[in-house]
Amino acid sequence: MYCPDPFAETRPEILRALIQRYPLATLVSMGAHGLEANHIPLYLAPGEGPQPVLQGHVARASPLWQEAPPDGKVQPCPTTHESDRGSVFPR
């Protein structure tokens, strides 16, 4: 999602409070029947380092998990690419 710098929140304590207060995400994916949006409960788990780990859960009854990649992980932005104009964006 495009977010101009003046509106970007980067303070960890504010982001952590937001996730803890509203622990729900919308996962948008291209499924077998086209574009789908699913609500996913979130949990902010302690990480091995200083950063927490954001974990989500998909119910076994949901067809969404059957379309997940073989390793079972969803990468929101696995790689980035720098354009000729200096912009960095997901591949």
Structural domain count, the chain = 1
The whole model's pTM is what?
0.58
Reported as a single tens digit per residue, the pLDDT across 41-85 is 998 888 888 888 888 888 888 888 777 767 766 555 544 455 555
| Distance of alpha carbon 67 from alpha carbon 69, whole angstroms | 7
Residue 51 in any domain: the answer is yes
Q: How confident is the model at residue 27 (pLDDT cuts 50, 70, 90)?
A: confident
**Residues 85-89: what's their mean pLDDT?**
51
Residue 19 in any domain: the answer is yes
| Distance of alpha carbon 29 from alpha carbon 36, whole angstroms | 5
- For β-strands 88-90 and 80-82, DSSP reports them as antiparallel
Partners of 37 in the beta sheet?
A: 28
CA dihedral 31, 35, 40, 46 (to 10 degrees): 80
Per-residue pLDDT, 41 = 93
Q: Residue 8 belongs to what domain range?
A: 1-60
Per-residue pLDDT, 23 = 92
Residue 75 in any domain: the answer is no
Per-residue pLDDT, 91 = 43
**Helical residues (DSSP H) of 1-91, grouped into ranges:** 12-21
Whether the Cβ atoms of residue 54 and residue 76 lie closer than 8 Å to each other? no
Per-residue pLDDT, 66 = 79
Angstrom CA distances, 20 to 23, 41, 42, 64, 78, stand at: 6, 11, 9, 24, 25
Percentage of the chain lying above the pLDDT 70 cut: 76
